[in-house]
Amino acid sequence: MEDLTVEKTEWPKPGLMGFTVERVSALSDGVFAVAITLLVVSIAVPTIHGTVTNSKLAHGLAEIWPHFFSYFLSFIIIAMFWISHHALFSAIRRVDRTLIWINMLYLLLIVFMPYPTELLSLFGKTMVATVLYASVLAVAGILQAAMAFYATRGHRLVDDEFEMSQAGEYLRNSLLMSAVFIISIGIAFVSVTAAQFFWLTLFVIQLLERFVFGKKQRSKPAAEIQEAG
């Protein structure tokens, strides 16, 4: 991604009705923390008729296993989004109204996640629930890429030393996450189970990334690492 002439966001005197990266991060962390915790509310407690016995309870829990699966899946996916958000904001030095609004729409989708998660728990075998779940995450991934693009384009909201190659890598990863969900929507029209299995590709990508990222890091010249302290 080459560095074009983009009008950088300028700031009024600091502290006068300005915005701070810290509070945007703080609100985002709060929202992520609550959204990730509300997921547990969607796990139903098994209803047991008559005397409670171990076998009845075990049976009841076994029956609601899709709830545990949805909980686990949504937790890990939201965690992935949080890690990406964290990585992006660690590079951002300034925020402006446009970035805040893209971030807000992105958070709107993250906060919404407990709802499609609950639908997936209850109606997981339907195409409708599967497509809704995948759509929300696909759009979230696109908004994340949009944030990264907006913030780094022409070093608008990042340091001048920011390496644009990192932005390219970040965009690729965000859009790859979206792509997985968009493709799964297509698959869902044929087979809902296949679509849901396809989501696991995300974990494979994550592991591959780690492997590749790990290799790159190791090959960095020692001088640069020293200086990073």
**195-224: which residues touch a second copy (CB under 8 A)?**
210, 213, 217, 220, 224
- Alpha helices, H only, 113-200: 114-123, 127-152, 164-190, 192-198
Backbone angles phi, psi at 158, to 5 degrees: -120, 170
- Residue 178 half-sphere exposure toward CB, CA atoms < 13 A: 16
Q: How far is the CB of 200 from a second copy (least distance, A)?
A: 16
The whole-angstrom separation of Cα 74 and Cα 26 is 22
Helix (H, G, I), strand (E, B) or coil at 77: helix
**Interface stretch with a second copy, choices 49-57, 133-141, 176-184, 193-201 (CB under 8 A):** 49-57
- Residue 10 half-sphere exposure toward CB, CA atoms < 13 A: 2
Mark residues 121-160: x for contact with a second copy by CB under 8 A, - for none: -xx-xxxxx--x--------------------------x-
Q: Within positions 55 to 114, which residues make up the interface with a second copy, using CB under 8 A?
A: 57-58, 61, 71-72, 75-76, 79, 82-83, 86-91, 93, 97, 100-101, 104, 107-108, 111-112, 114
Among 25, 149, 154, 155, binds a second copy (CB under 8 A): 25
The whole-angstrom separation of Cα 92 and Cα 167 is 11
Q: How far is the CB of 83 from a second copy (least distance, A)?
A: 6
Between 166 and 201, CB nearer to a second copy: 166
